[in-house]
């Protein structure tokens, strides 16, 4: 049994955000990191068992079913991990008085807005992944647990599978990349998301508990996927990055045309603001990938 006063249970600890969280949170408590092998979030009994065994002060849920297109045909799996599991985690957090930190997505919106979405904007997901994440948010809110749900978007880093990694690989292989230019959002570096989470934890449990609720956690600025790809490739002549439309690149899951999140609430309540996404991208590509702290992952 780990000391309940300062222990931080991190789920999905081998994901791109999870591994950064494990590193960033280490300075703030005794991190117990569990990957899918140690805790399958589709197993509600397993969640109960692990939370009761660890008895953490904080639960940081970085685990999620993130295969947006595959979710269209794996609805039950997506909902088990993204909707039911957060509800079980929240129920257990409430039972032991832990604070739950959970992540959600701009894909809860339909993208018809043209100004940044506040936390109070009406969600209307276009795809199964977004619907499952929205149900997770609602399960947490309904539980009565003291929880912070942090919505973010377009997550990238040097590790894992994400747009930055894909574009860098394709840029080395091809002379020409065709990238969607009619979807607008905000790229977010895993390290900045993890450090912001650590800053929330550093505020202490009492402070966070009083300010439980939904927050947008996102960088400044906005981009289309094409602009993001151009920034990744840089000014080198090869490859050419060609803007295309969503209609030119059909996918199983529909995606919102606009997903910029307004970040005023997080700044006002926690004093937190993430840097501009271009600055984050620059820092990311000039940084070393955070090594996986394997000894701390169960």
Ligand X SMILES: NC(=O)c1ccc[n+]([C@@H]2O[C@H](COP(=O)([O-])OP(=O)(O)OC[C@H]3O[C@@H](n4cnc5c(N)ncnc54)[C@H](OP(=O)(O)O)[C@@H]3O)[C@@H](O)[C@H]2O)c1
Residue ranges in contact with ligand X by CB under 6 A: 12, 14-18, 36, 39-42, 62-66, 81, 103, 105, 133, 152-155, 160
Name the residue nearer to ligand X (CB basis): 5 or 168.
Answer: 168
Q: How near is the Cβ of 151 to ligand X at its closest, in Å?
A: 7
Q: How open is the CA angle 151-156-157, to the nearest 5 degrees?
A: 130
When CB distances to ligand X are compared, the closest residue is: 15
* Residues 253/78, Cβ–Cβ less than 8 Å: no
Classify 243 as helix, strand or coil: strand
Residue of 65, 107, 117, 129 with catalytic role: 129
Cα distances (angstroms) measured from residue 77 to each of 43, 85, 86, 150, 167: 11, 11, 13, 22, 28
Q: How near is the Cβ of 28 to ligand X at its closest, in Å?
A: 19
* Residues 159/221, Cβ–Cβ less than 8 Å: no
Q: How near is the Cβ of 215 to ligand X at its closest, in Å?
A: 13
Q: How near is the Cβ of 206 to ligand X at its closest, in Å?
A: 25
Task: Establish whether 249 is a catalytic residue.
Answer: no
Name the residue nearer to ligand X (CB basis): 17 or 140.
Answer: 17
Name the residue nearer to ligand X (CB basis): 40 or 279.
Answer: 40
Name the residue nearer to ligand X (CB basis): 49 or 238.
Answer: 49
Structure tokens at 155: 């997550």
Q: What span, in angstroms and rounded, lies between the C-alpha atoms of 241 and 229? A: 7
User: Catalytic residues, which ones?
Assistant: 129
């Amino acid at each position: 049994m780990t000391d309940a006063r300062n222990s931080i249970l991190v789920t999905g600890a081998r994901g791109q955000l999870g591994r950064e969280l494990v590193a960033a949170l280490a300075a703030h408590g005794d991190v117990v990191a569990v990957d899918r092998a140690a805790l399958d979030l589709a197993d509600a009994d397993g969640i109960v068992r692990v939370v009761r065994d660890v008895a953490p002060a904080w639960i940081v849920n970085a685990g999620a079913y993130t295969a947006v297109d595959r979710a269209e045909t794996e609805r039950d799996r997506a909902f088990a991990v993204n909707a039911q599991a957060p509800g079980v985690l929240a129920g257990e957090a409430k039972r032991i008085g832990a604070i739950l930190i959970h992540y959600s997505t701009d894909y809860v919106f339909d993208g018809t807005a043209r100004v940044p979405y506040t936390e109070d904007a009406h969600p209307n997901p276009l795809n199964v992944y977004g619907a499952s994440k929205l149900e997770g948010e609602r399960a947490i809110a309904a539980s009565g647990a003291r929880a912070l749900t942090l919505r973010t978007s377009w997550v990238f880093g040097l590790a894992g599978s994400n747009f930055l990694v894909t574009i860098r690989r394709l840029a080395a292989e091809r002379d020409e990349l065709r990238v969607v230019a009619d979807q607008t959002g905000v790229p977010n570096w895993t390290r900045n998301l993890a450090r912001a989470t650590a800053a929330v934890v550093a505020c202490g449990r009492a402070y966070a508990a009083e300010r439980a609720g939904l927050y947008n956690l996102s960088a400044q600025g906005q981009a289309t996927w094409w602009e993001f790809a151009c920034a990744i490739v840089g000014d080198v002549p090869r490859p050419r990055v060609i803007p295309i439309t969503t209609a030119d690149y059909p996918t199983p899951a529909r995606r919102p045309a606009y997903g910029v999140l307004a970040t005023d609430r997080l700044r006002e309540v926690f004093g937190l603001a993430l840097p501009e996404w271009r600055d984050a991208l620059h820092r990311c590509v000039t940084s070393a990938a955070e090594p996986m702290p394997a000894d701390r992952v169960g």
